[in-house]
């Protein structure tokens, strides 16, 4: 950071005093940061966002207040400029997705190194289009699965049938396995073709596998 670059104004919100003190000490020794506020619960986080309008706010997940989702949403509403950085021990794919959807711009687990934390804060402060994740591979796979499920236009039954189609089962075999009629299987496949823009069973299967809606039997 150059001498002419503005200081990154940070607020730290964590109900563990030792954690707050450690982060504050870290940022006090990092070039280009100023800690302008500290808090210990979600209500204080929202109030400080409105009063201080910091560049970044570091938030713990498990602390008193309205809950992480409401806190992130409240901070972003009070100060749209503020980049919310989640710093936590929780590694849950659903929680990551929810907090990012509510406005968080970084999700970091507390085994992150000092250098990685400072780099992440600088990244989100400099580039408003940046989202930073420091997560395990397992969590990343969970995020990818969750996105596929949210984006999936197919019903549960359509996915079930298409998964059997991917296993090279005929309509008659699928009907017997699922205890439905062949006509019902055909109707579901017709709907699948329309939703995926497919022209055949093979085309539908390939598109569904590529999108992550069904798994590749191979």
Domain residue extents for the chain:
8-146, 152-211
Q: How far is CA 35 from CA 32, 77, 92, 191, 197, in A?
A: 10, 21, 29, 56, 53
pLDDT for residue 195? 87
pLDDT 10s digits, 115-164? 989 988 998 888 766 666 665 555 555 555 555 555 668 888 888 999 99
Range from 33-47, 117-131, 161-175 carrying the lowest mean pLDDT: 117-131
pLDDT for residue 59? 94
Q: How far is CA 48 from CA 37, 74, 208, 211, in A?
A: 7, 11, 46, 42
Enter the pTM of the model: 0.61
CA 43 to CA 48: how far, in whole Å? Answer: 9
The percent of residues in the chain predicted with pLDDT above 70, rounded, is: 83
String of DSSP letters for 113-124: -HHHHHHHHHHH
pLDDT 10s digits, 187-212? 999 999 988 888 899 999 998 888 88
pLDDT for residue 167? 92
Angle at 133 between CA 64 and CA 118, to 5 degrees: 80
Phi, psi torsion values for 134, nearest 5 degrees: -125, 90
Q: Is the dihedral of CA 115, 59, 139, 145 positive or negative?
A: negative
- Say whether pLDDT at 114 is over 50: yes
pLDDT for residue 2? 47
pLDDT for residue 107? 84
pLDDT for residue 100? 82
For residue 72 the two structure tokens come to 């992130």
CA 154 to CA 185: how far, in whole Å? Answer: 14
pLDDT for residue 211? 80
- CATH domain 8-146 topology: Rossmann fold (3.40.50)
The answer to whether domain 152-211 has CATH 3.30.460.10 is no
């Amino acid at each position: 950071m150059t001498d002419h670059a503005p200081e990154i104004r940070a607020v730290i919100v964590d109900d563990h005093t030792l954690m707050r003190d450690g982060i504050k000490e870290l940022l006090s020794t990092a070039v280009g940061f100023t800690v302008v506020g500290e808090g210990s619960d979600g209500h204080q986080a929202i109030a400080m966002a409105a009063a201080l309008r910091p560049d970044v706010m570091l938030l713990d997940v498990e602390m008193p207040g309205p809950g992480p989702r409401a806190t992130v949403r409240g901070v972003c509403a009070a100060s749209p400029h503020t980049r919310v950085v989640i710093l936590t021990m929780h590694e849950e794919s659903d929680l990551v997705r929810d907090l990012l959807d509510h406005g968080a711009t970084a999700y970091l687990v507390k085994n992150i190194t000092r250098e990685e934390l400072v780099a992440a804060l600088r990244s989100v402060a400099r580039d408003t289009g940046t989202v930073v994740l420091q997560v395990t591979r397992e969590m990343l796979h969970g995020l990818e699965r969750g996105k596929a499920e949210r984006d999936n236009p197919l019903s549960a039954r359509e996915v079930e049938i298409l998964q059997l189609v991917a296993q090279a089962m005929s309509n008659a075999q699928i009907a017997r396995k699922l205890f439905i009629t062949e006509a019902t299987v055909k109707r579901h496949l017709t709907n699948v073709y329309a939703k995926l823009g497919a022209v055949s069973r093979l085309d539908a299967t390939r598109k569904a596998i590529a999108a992550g809606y069904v798994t590749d039997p191979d």
